[in-house]
Chains A and B, each alone.
Chain A
Amino acid sequence: MRKLTTALLASLVVTAGASAALAADKTEISVARFFGACEADYGTVTDVTKANGECGIITALINKFNADSKTTVVKPEIVEWPGYDQLTARIRSGEPPVISVMHEAVISDYSSRGLLEPLDDDFAKAGVDVNDMTDAARQGVTKDGKIYAMPFDTHTWLWHINMNLFKQAGLVDSAGKPILPKSTDELMKQAQQFKEKTGKPYFISTLANETAFYTRTFDTLLYQQNVDFFADPNKVNFSSPEAKNALQLLADIFSKDLTTKNQDYAASVSSFAAGEGGVFICGTWLIDTYDQEAKKSGALANGYAVTAFPQIYPGSPRVWADGHSWVLLKQDLTDAQRASAIEFMKFLWDNNYEWSRTGHLPIRKSIINSDQFKNLPHRGDIASLAVNGTALPSAVKRQFSIQEIEGEEVGSAMRGDKPVDQALTDAESRINELLANAK
């Protein structure tokens, strides 16, 4: 018995020592990301195909990387969306993460100040074929001729539709497709019809506590009217009849009770799943989540559809777009840390299809053209987004701050707190003041 105990103890010590030695051999790198925390559901999942939704898939991807890599351990640091205040503070205090997720719209603010590492040479050495990047992705991560990030997705603004309520409202055609508006008049008419038939608002919108809905929808409505509001990247122009039309349309939707009015992001996401409205204007990232929801019993059961933002102005089908990417923060990294960072980025590149299951568009031509991607649910319905997604010109500085200001003023007019003309004037002067003082 005593011998057995000794043997067991010895083997325990050897195993623990070996594990510690293995872990010590690996280089640890920190990766700051948003997309939420879901350790309870996916903390140990390494089979990425079993994960769903943004949070599930990124968690499983990192788990798989950590399980497979012989040289690197990724330590995820989860931040609140969008996380730039925290990142800025960490850079300023000299404690940045090794890698951070970053919207392509903000890369130039950081790259122009020398805060990011250019990655062209690293990608070439690691075997990342940058020619396989989609045009949108490559443009999004290229600043002043250099690639500053590993693109992860292109995401756009679209309509999630509750087909069960659309049927009830008589807005489904004989082929079983949703009847969508082709003009602003049709939009108001159909929304009114929906409200009368179902007793619910046509739209579910995230109007509380964030400005993304206002900015992205307003930009889309401007793009649809072929308005180039940043013809000069140092000056925005909202003093056009088209801008007034777009904002008035949003104000009318609100004043005629055709949308939910006081929901924040979490409330609006669950409100759509609970069948409290017909159309949820939001992003690509919820496609997989709602598709899974439609497989269960509930308000969305067998009744979920998604479509590109319907063209309600006779100009263009363009729609607001941006992209997530991964940047390497400039700091004193060892060769091993830099190699580990590139190894992780290459892993994400190789597994970009898995991320595209969220609903985001992939950033590799070889994936976007593959049958595997095209056969994913609803991807045929949103194929046009790959061409029509439009980002602000990369020469425009402080894009996130601009979007905040724009959203705030659009929101004020939509909610009736400010006249439409006043909101447009204020948005224009505030943004131009910001740009005039931005270096």
Chain B
Amino acid sequence: MTDVTLSPGKAVAAVKRPTGASIGPRWSNALFVAPYLVFYVVLLVYPLFKGIWMSMLQSDMFDNTSKYAGMANYHRLFNDKIFIGTVWNTVWFVVMTVPVFVAIGLLLALALNSSDRTAAVLRAIFFGTSVLSVTIVTIIWKMMYMPGNGAIASIFKLLGLEPVAFVTSSSLALVAIAICTIWWIIGLPMMLFLAALQQIPGELYEAAALDNASRWRSFWSITLPSIRRTMLVVVIYEIVAQFQLFGQAQLLTQGGPNNASRPIVLFIYEQGFRSWNLGYAAAASEILFLIMAVAALAQFFVSRKRVEE
């Protein structure tokens, strides 16, 4: 080994010259995230702020002379019985569908969590509906719900019962849309739960079996805690997705009868594209955004707290 004597100045220079990872920010790394950031800003952040600004304008679809209206659009919205009705309809729809998505999705996943051929075929069948477009789905369900010759009416008649008018009844129209929606996209929660179930180590179940744990006990103490995070993902995803109900309502009931099945997005669409009130439609969009954010965040914090406990 050779002793090296360094002057103080040289010693400082040696410290400044690191041999491993660089210290401090390296701005060239930003290039890796730049493409994502650009699209995120252009497609999400900019429209978000543009929407907020538009909601404060009295703006017509084809008129370039929008004028500032402050909170007038929001004030009008809170006094609009139709809009208030759409908020309740949408919340009710989310309450009806999200728990069912979780419950049926999990049940299907548990039932089909096996490697045999029948389970594979059934998984494909249950997921198959998710690839259909909303137009096809609503045509199928129109045929199901038709009061005269529809499939459900025929079953009712076969049983000697009076057919129920699902889509023309103000108390059943939203339920009819919920059933159609669940049938349509139950495949995704099922797949997410299946993926989570397959991550659970088999040793846990073997240990439980050695301890003579019942199936219910295994489910409650092993399965459920293991898939809690997936359940959170499914719940938040479905809350966000179902608050955006549109196509099914537009095509099955057009929001009727008596505003009983009109969701917020259909209201926004009608105000924007039919009445050409862009400012008013934008204000309704911001309210929807707030409701969705609050609902998803509330669910996130509640679930995270439980997980931590």
Whether B274 and A84, one on each chain, are in contact in the complex, defined by CB atoms closer than 8 angstroms, is yes
- A387 — which chain B residues lie within 8 A by C-beta? none
> Is residue A88 contacting chain B, with contact meaning CB distance below 8 A?
yes
A417 at interface, CB cutoff 8 A:
yes
Establish whether residues A88 and B257, one from each chain, have CB atoms under 8 Å apart when the complex forms. no
B273 with A88: CB separation less than 8 A = yes
For A400, the chain B residues whose CB sits under 8 A away are 274
Select the residue from B58, B76, B146, B276 with max chain A CB neighbours within 10 A.
B276
The answer to whether A411 and B256 have CB atoms under 8 Å apart is: yes
Q: Pick the contact of B275 from A264, A271, A398, A412 — CB < 8 Å?
A: A398
A125 proximal to B (CB < 8 A): no
Q: Which residues of A contact B280 (CB under 8 A)?
A: 437
Candidate in A88, A412, A439 with the most chain B CB atoms within 10 angstroms: A439
Determine whether the beta carbon of B165 is less than 8 Å from that of A437.
no
Among A206-214, A217-225, A352-360, A388-396, which stretch is in contact with chain B?
A206-214
Task: Tell whether B81 is near chain A: CB-to-CB under 8 Å.
Answer: yes
The listed residue with most B CB atoms (<10 A of its CB), out of A91, A208, A430, is A208
The answer to whether B148 has its CB under 8 Å from any CB of chain A is yes
How distant is the Cα of A412 from the Cα of B273 in the complex, in angstroms? 24
- The CB with the most chain A CB atoms within 10 A, among B80, B167, B256, is that of B256
**Min CB distance, B179 to chain A, in Å?**
17
User: When chains A and B are docked, how far (Å) is the Cα of A174 from the Cα of B47?
Assistant: 71
Cβ of B274 and Cβ of A85 under 8 Å apart? yes
Interface size class of B (residues with CB under 8 A): 20 to 34
A434 at the interface (CB under 8 A from B): yes
**Contact flag A263-B60 (CB < 8 Å), given A209-B254, A404-B274, A438-B275:** no
How many chain A residues sit at the interface, stated as a range, is: 35 or more
In the complex, what distance in Å separates the CA atom of A415 from the CA atom of B260?
Answer: 13
Check B253 for interface membership: any CB of A closer than 8 A. Answer: yes
Within B244-277, the residues touching A (CB, 8 Å) are: 252-260, 269, 273-277
Within 8 Å CB of A85, what residues of B? 269, 273-274
Whether B259 pairs with A261 at a CB distance below 8 angstroms is no
Cβ contact within 8 Å between A412 and B274: no
A401 and B267 CA atoms in complex are apart in Å by: 13
Chain A residues positioned under 8 Å from B142 (CB to CB)? 264
A358 to B269, CA, bound (A): 34
Closest chain-B Cβ to A397's Cβ sits at a distance in Å of: 10
Which residue numbers of A lie inside 8 Å of B, CB to CB? 84-85, 88-89, 91-92, 109, 113, 115, 207-211, 261-264, 267, 271, 398, 400-401, 404, 408, 411-412, 415, 417-418, 426, 430, 433-434, 437-439
Would you give 10 A-B contacts (Cβ < 8 Å), ordered by A?
A85-B273, A85-B274, A91-B62, A210-B254, A262-B148, A263-B148, A415-B170, A417-B258, A437-B275, A438-B275
